[in-house]
């Protein structure tokens, strides 16, 4: 193929119009990269081949521009923002009338963390909540089902996965009972998470329940080649009953969550039963998602509850919803700052540990400062590629003092983040790029020494069954496995 000089010298008059077209494509692509790529390394990676292809063979710049258009443009954030605007959903603030958390005698590092978090997402802490951890479906499902059965006014359920099986059939019977009691029932599921290809769907069963309203967050039946839709997943797990009791965490609705002794098919997890005024904030997340998925507005009855006259707790908490339609990566930024704020202890439990370099570096720096950093992850996840991709990140952490525990089967899907035995971050988000930047997630920020003590005990029991990872295990693997693991890691981020 002709170089740029040959192309011009060949016949200037004949080639000049084509040259202008190729030059415009080259310049236009580079301008788009410069304007829309915040990461310097990513910009260089895309600009370099575009320039080289134009200089060595001008026509080939078209191929480079097409590749960039298909793979290089972040359509997820653009698509999600446009879709959210289409349905009229916007982020809201929730002003509270309770006393400010700053009136507590908090250390300066916590004050800075709270101030940072509020500037990132201006939602106040709600006071007077009780938050109870429930482990696995064995503990969580009976409480959920009992509360649904006793519902008199409203049941709201949002779940990434809602399977149809012998265990979830108990939820269907409870929903029928709630409707008979006079409760309004709304169920929202993620299109890809629940309505998976060739998998028995809950949709038909829900549609057969009279008076039940049902919505799908982005149906999976839109063209599968549209990768931005595949990435726009609602990963939240929320349940609100009569505006008085809520469940929030990582537990999906599937019989896998009660098979805690089944090493192959079982899933361990944790969710939280919540009472108190923070339910208003959880309800607002459901309301926005319901409006987006169905186009219908409604207001949860939690808005009309007088939580001051009910038996609650003493825990301050606030909800942090996040997704690709937000300006900042809110959950990732708060996670990063919480690591920086740690003085004594960091405890992390996550099913998938694939954060980008900024989080890894923050954890290393915390350990180097003398903070005791412990991470609990499954030895094997439910996706073998993720298990392989996790391994290359471990040696650098271990070398800098981070302790990494790997739990045996069954797969542990729990998500807990504790700092200094008081600050707590729980919810649906994993420690990976998908949760931090692609999925719609919902976490809760909490200050509670008593709850932190409970969660520390739960983590301690997980560590007893786990194996502490050594640096020798990380480096004493074959060249082919190292190449495999590093190749898989490339798939965890995007340019």
pLDDT tens, residue by residue, 417-455:
999 999 999 999 999 988 998 899 999 999 999 999 999
Instruction: Identify which has the larger pLDDT, 373 or 71.
Output: 373
| Domain assignment of residue 383, yes or no | yes
| Mean of all residue pLDDT scores within the chain | 85
Picking from 420, 417, 389, the residue whose alpha carbon sits closest to that of residue 270 is 417
| Domain assignment of residue 69, yes or no | yes
Same structural domain for residues 198 and 242? yes
Print the domain residue range for 18: 4-73
Residue 408 is predicted with a pLDDT of 96
Which of these three, 318, 343, 371, is where a domain ends?
Answer: 318
Same structural domain for residues 343 and 267? no
Residue 107 is predicted with a pLDDT of 79
Picking from 348, 374, 369, the residue whose alpha carbon sits closest to that of residue 432 is 348
Same structural domain for residues 269 and 290? yes
> Residue 339 and residue 345: Cα distance in Å, rounded?
9
Q: How confident is the model at residue 406 (pLDDT cuts 50, 70, 90)?
A: very high
Which of these three, 287, 318, 349, is where a domain ends?
Answer: 318
| Domain assignment of residue 66, yes or no | yes
The answer to which of 23-32, 82-91, 478-487 has the lowest mean pLDDT is 82-91
Same structural domain for residues 363 and 483? yes
Sign of the Cα torsion 451, 246, 229, 232 reads: negative
| Domain assignment of residue 115, yes or no | no
Same structural domain for residues 103 and 143? yes
* Mean pLDDT of the 139-167 span: 96
| Domain assignment of residue 80, yes or no | no
Same structural domain for residues 307 and 420? no
- Counting the structural domains of the chain, the total is 3
pTM, two decimals, is 0.84
Q: Kindly state the tokens that stand for 130.
A: 């009780």
The answer to which of 181-185, 194-198, 317-321 has the lowest mean pLDDT is 194-198
Percent of the chain with pLDDT strictly greater than 90: 58
Which of these three, 318, 343, 369, is where a domain ends?
Answer: 318
Q: Kindly state the tokens that stand for 89.
A: 């959903």
> Residue 152 and residue 175: Cα distance in Å, rounded?
11
Q: Kindly state the tokens that stand for 470.
A: 């050594």
> Residue 88 and residue 142: Cα distance in Å, rounded?
37
Residue 229: pLDDT over 70: no
With contact defined as beta carbons under 8 Å apart, do 219 and 229 qualify? Answer: no
Q: Kindly state the tokens that stand for 110.
A: 């916590």
Q: How confident is the model at residue 235 (pLDDT cuts 50, 70, 90)?
A: very high
Picking from 237, 260, 240, the residue whose alpha carbon sits closest to that of residue 249 is 237
> Residue 367 and residue 373: Cα distance in Å, rounded?
6
Helix, coil or strand: residue 49: helix
Residue 249 is predicted with a pLDDT of 96
Instruction: Identify which has the larger pLDDT, 487 or 280.
Output: 280
Q: Which residues pair with 272 in a beta bridge?
A: 133, 248
Residue 300 is predicted with a pLDDT of 92
Same structural domain for residues 313 and 366? no
Residue 482: pLDDT over 50: yes
Residue 79 is predicted with a pLDDT of 52
* Mean pLDDT of the 97-121 span: 75
Same structural domain for residues 130 and 196? yes
Same structural domain for residues 363 and 455? yes
> Residue 57 and residue 388: Cα distance in Å, rounded?
39
* Mean pLDDT of the 387-400 span: 94
Question: What's the pLDDT tens digit per position in 53-89?
Answer: 777 777 777 777 777 676 555 555 555 555 555 444 4
Residue 50: pLDDT over 90: no
| Domain assignment of residue 487, yes or no | yes
CB atoms < 10 A from the CB of 94, how many? 16
Same structural domain for residues 206 and 269? yes
Helices marked H in 262-347: 279-294, 330-341
Same structural domain for residues 467 and 357? yes
Residue 182 is predicted with a pLDDT of 96
| Domain assignment of residue 81, yes or no | no
Question: What's the pLDDT tens digit per position in 277-305?
Answer: 999 999 999 999 999 889 999 999 887 77
* Mean pLDDT of the 299-322 span: 81
Looking up residue 450, the CATH number of its domain turns out to be 3.30.870.10
| Domain assignment of residue 116, yes or no | no
Same structural domain for residues 290 and 359? no
């Amino acid at each position: 193929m002709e170089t740029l000089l040959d192309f011009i010298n060949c016949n200037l008059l004949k080639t000049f119009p084509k040259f202008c077209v190729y030059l415009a494509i080259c310049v236009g692509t580079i301008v788009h990269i410069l304007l829309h790529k915040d990461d310097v390394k990513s910009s260089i990676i895309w600009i370099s081949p575009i320039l080289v292809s134009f200089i060595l063979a001008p026509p080939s710049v078209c191929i480079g521009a097409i590749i960039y258009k298909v793979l290089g443009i972040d359509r997820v954030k653009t698509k999600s923002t446009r879709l959210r605007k289409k349905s009229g959903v916007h982020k809201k603030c929730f002003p509270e009338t309770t006393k400010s958390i700053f009136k507590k005698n908090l250390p300066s590092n916590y004050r800075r963390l709270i101030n940072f978090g509020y500037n990132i997402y201006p939602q106040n802490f709600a006071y007077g909540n009780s938050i109870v951890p429930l482990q696995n479906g064995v503990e969580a499902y009976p409480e959920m089902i009992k509360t649904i059965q006793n519902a008199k006014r409203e049941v709201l359920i949002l779940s990434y996965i809602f399977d149809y099986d012998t265990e979830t059939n108990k939820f269907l019977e409870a929903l029928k009972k709630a409707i008979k009691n006079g409760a309004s029932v709304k169920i929202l599921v993620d299109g890809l998470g629940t309505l998976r290809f060739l998998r028995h769907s809950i949709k038909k069963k829900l549609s057969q329940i009279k008076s039940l309203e049902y919505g799908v967050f982005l149906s999976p039946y839109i063209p599968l080649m549209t990768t931005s839709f595949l990435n726009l997943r609602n990963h939240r797990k929320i349940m609100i009953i009569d505006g008085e009791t809520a469940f929030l965490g990582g537990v999906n609705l599937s019989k896998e969550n009660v098979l805690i002794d089944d090493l192959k098919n079982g899933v361990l997890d944790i969710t939280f039963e919540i009472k108190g005024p923070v339910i208003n904030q959880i309800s607002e997340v459901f309301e926005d998602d319901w409006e987006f998925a169905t186009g219908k507005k409604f207001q949860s009855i939690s808005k009309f509850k007088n939580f001051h006259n009910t038996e609650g707790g003493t825990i301050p908490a606030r909800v942090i919803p996040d997704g690709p339609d937000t300006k900042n990566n809110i959950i990732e930024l708060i996670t990063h700052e919480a690591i920086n704020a740690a003085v004594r202890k960091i405890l992390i439990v996550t099913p998938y540990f694939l954060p980008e370099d900024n989080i890894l570096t923050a954890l290393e720096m915390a350990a180097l400062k003398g903070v005791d950093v412990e991470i609990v992850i499954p030895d094997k996840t439910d996706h073998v590629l993720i298990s392989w991709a996790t391994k290359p990140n471990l040696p650098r952490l271990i070398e800098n003092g981070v302790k990494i525990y790997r739990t045996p089967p069954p797969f542990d899907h729990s998500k807990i983040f504790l700092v200094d035995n008081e600050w707590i971050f729980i919810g649906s988000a994993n420690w990976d790029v998908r949760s931090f930047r692609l999925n719609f997630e919902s976490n809760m920020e909490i200050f509670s020494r008593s709850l932190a003590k409970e969660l520390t005990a739960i983590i301690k029991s997980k560590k007893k069954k786990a194996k502490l990872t050594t640096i020798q295990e990380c480096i004493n693997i074959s060249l082919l496995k190292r190449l495999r693991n590093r190749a898989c890691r490339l798939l965890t981020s995007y340019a």
